[in-house]
Amino acid sequence: MFYQDCAHDIDTPVHPVSAPDYMPIGQLRALQLHRLQGVVRRIYDNVPLTRKRMDERGVKPEHIQTLADIALLPFSVKSDLRDEYPHGLFASPMNEIVRFHCSSGTTGKPIVIGNTRNDIILWQQTCMRALAMCGVRSSDVMQVTYGYGLFTGGLGLHYGGEGIGCAVLPISGGNTERQLMMMRDMGVTVIACTPSYFLHLVDEGHKRGINFRTDTKLKHGIFGAEPWSEEMRTKIQDATGITAHDIYGLTEICGPGVANDCQYHNGLHIFEDHFYPEIIDPETLEPQPDGIAGELVFTTLTRTGTPMLRYRTRDISRLNTKACECGRTIRTFERVSARSDDMLIIRGVNVFPSQIESGLLQVDKVLPHYMINITREGDLDKLEIQVEVTRETFGDDIRSLEILRSEIAHSVQRIINISASIRLVEPNTLPRSEGKIQRVRDMR
Ligand code: DLL
């Protein structure tokens, strides 16, 4: 499905791909219920873990008679994916799976999501709707600077861009010099990347004398995969003259294209004909009314490979009560700025302290005492790890210390996929605790 002939601009209400965004509410709710009943049946029939949990609660698929009945269903969490690694939550046979995506888990093992052909097609459609909402059209040239591979960012936006009919530049992350060169040479009008990396590109561009307003054709930025603020939106827009949009998603639900903000920036519109949202109190797990802050929970209504029932995202937000001026009927949530668990997002990559720990402790001479310091230099996240090493080490010559430092850095990078600077410290120099130890200093 291509939309190359589309002449609509951002003020024209309905881009062809966006029609479901404007569905009458009654129709939307009926569709959601119908789809919810279908996905609950599929999961009950195919996923033993969830069937067991439903049976323990005495809930059968036929008990779902209204959307409010969703509260009868069990939640799912990231550790379910880890415990059932790699395929335990799949609801389709392997011959129907066409692509895997992964995200880091709390151990060395990633979580694995299987996509059927249908999942890939529907994911492309929600990414197209996200891009259409940002004003991206078939005449645009889009630089996709999100990583390609197991991470969903690159391929998700790539398929969305191709679906809209724009010319996609699949450059992936890194190599700032080349990013800046191609942005200008290819007449890039849309960039999709993490907001922090874009700010880094802007800084580097300014150092090279690039004026983003006059030396590039950039109009839109599609920024997500990490929390960012309204202040950062203003900073980006002021520095470059582009419109900065917020795109939200997570691997477990599909990747980017779960929700997106429109030109009014009143929060992120959820593609709720595919992803049913709830807000719960993370302590009591009780559903919260619209307008009250809590943890975002999604049920995938149409996915077949690894559908999710009431998936707890750990992201904190609230469902907005006011309708948006854009006329879309799909609801919005407030931008996500916090998480209820301890997952760190460093340069757009999910990192758990326990992963860093296992990287450190794979190296001889390293003691199990460390501190993770995260700062922001300019607009880029910096990760520094202070780690205690044996006292004898300090008797070694400078060159041996340097070799050890680099060995530790490599070991950590192998696991978390981003670089960290390592500071070796003497035994007993880092804080100790009798209760819960605090090993992360997030100073961003
Ligand atoms: O980050 C998918 C994605 C790729 C979204 C590209 C947008 C653009 P994960 O790596 O599984 O998936 O990380 C998901 O990142 O639960 C949030 O905590 C955070 N996150 C994603 N988008 C936003 C956003 C991708 N716009 C986790 N604002 C989520 C704040 C975000 N946090």
Q: Are residues 327 and 377 in the same domain?
A: no
Q: Are residues 232 and 328 in the same domain?
A: yes
**C-beta of 154 in contact with ligand 1 (< 6 A):** no
The CATH number for 400's domain is 3.30.300.30
The CATH number for 99's domain is 3.40.50.12780
**C-beta of 247 in contact with ligand 1 (< 6 A):** yes
- Which one, of 25, 70, 53, 51, lies nearest residue 298 by Cα? 70
Domain end marker among 341, 373, 407: 341
d(CA 226, CA 224): 5
d(CA 136, CA 75): 36
Q: Are residues 385 and 306 in the same domain?
A: no
Confirm if 188 and 141 have CB atoms less than 8 A apart: yes
What does the pLDDT read at residue 107? 60
**C-beta of 145 in contact with ligand 1 (< 6 A):** no
**C-beta of 165 in contact with ligand 1 (< 6 A):** no
Q: Are residues 263 and 367 in the same domain?
A: no
Domain end marker among 320, 341, 362: 341
Q: Are residues 247 and 331 in the same domain?
A: yes
Domain that holds residue 409: 343-442
d(CA 434, CA 444): 27
By most ligand atoms within 8 Å of CB, the mutation choice from 134, 248, 343, 344 for ligand 1 is: 248
What does the pLDDT read at residue 8? 42
Q: Are residues 397 and 296 in the same domain?
A: no
**C-beta of 251 in contact with ligand 1 (< 6 A):** yes
d(CA 310, CA 77): 8
Q: Are residues 316 and 394 in the same domain?
A: no
Q: Are residues 336 and 356 in the same domain?
A: no
The one-digit pLDDT tens for each residue of the chain (444 residues) are 333 333 344 445 468 899 999 999 999 999 999 999 999 999 999 999 999 999 999 999 999 999 999 999 999 999 999 999 999 999 999 999 999 999 875 566 889 999 999 999 999 999 999 999 999 999 999 999 999 999 999 999 999 999 999 999 999 998 999 999 999 999 999 999 998 789 889 988 999 999 999 999 999 999 999 888 787 788 799 999 999 999 999 999 999 999 999 999 999 999 999 999 999 999 899 999 999 999 999 999 999 999 999 999 999 899 999 999 999 999 999 998 767 776 889 998 888 787 888 899 889 999 878 899 999 998 899 999 999 999 889 887 888 999 999 999 999 999 999 999 999 999 989 887 543 367 899 999
**C-beta of 160 in contact with ligand 1 (< 6 A):** no
Q: Are residues 55 and 192 in the same domain?
A: yes
Domain end marker among 341, 376, 394: 341
CA distances in angstroms from 282 to 240, 285, 293, 296, 316, listed in the order given: 39, 5, 10, 9, 9
User: How many domains are there within the chain?
Assistant: 2
Q: Are residues 234 and 352 in the same domain?
A: no
Q: Are residues 428 and 336 in the same domain?
A: no
Confirm if 259 and 270 have CB atoms less than 8 A apart: yes
What does the pLDDT read at residue 378? 87
What does the pLDDT read at residue 11? 46
Q: 22 CA distance to ligand 1 centroid (A)?
A: 25
Nearest CA residue ID for atom 30, ligand 1: 227
Q: Are residues 334 and 398 in the same domain?
A: no
